[in-house]
Amino acid sequence: MNTYYNPEDLKKFGNISEYQPELAKKFFDYYGEVFKDGALTAREKSLIALAVAHTVQCPYCIDAYSTDCLEKGSNEEQMMEALHVAAAIRGGSSLVHGVQMMNKVKELSM
């Protein structure tokens, strides 16, 4: 059955350079630099990437960064806590808009 998402496509990420090599090179160079040890460790960056992957709900990124987190030395508990950070921000971002709703309700109400 054809689907939009094929796990095998993850390995072909680099193929995006086929249609636009210069921009792809700039992107992949940048990408590589971002994930190196810096003020944050590569392990910490991988956990952030895992949380963001769940926020943007990208199956390729979830696949890649689940493996990468393990290979950077994170454990399951740490990985799940990272997801809860993403979930807290997503939930919080909905709820904090509740203030807008309350403002509007109050504006409309006697």
Using CB under 8 A, list all residues that contact other proteins: 41-43, 67, 70-73, 75-76
Smallest separation (angstroms) from other proteins to the CB of 44: 11
Given the complex with other proteins, which of 6 and 41 has the nearer CB atom?
Answer: 41
Kindly provide the b/e burial profile for residues 1-17, where b requires at least 16 CB atoms within 10 angstroms of the residue's own CB: eeeeeeeeeeeeeeeee
Smallest separation (angstroms) from other proteins to the CB of 88: 24
Smallest separation (angstroms) from other proteins to the CB of 70: 5
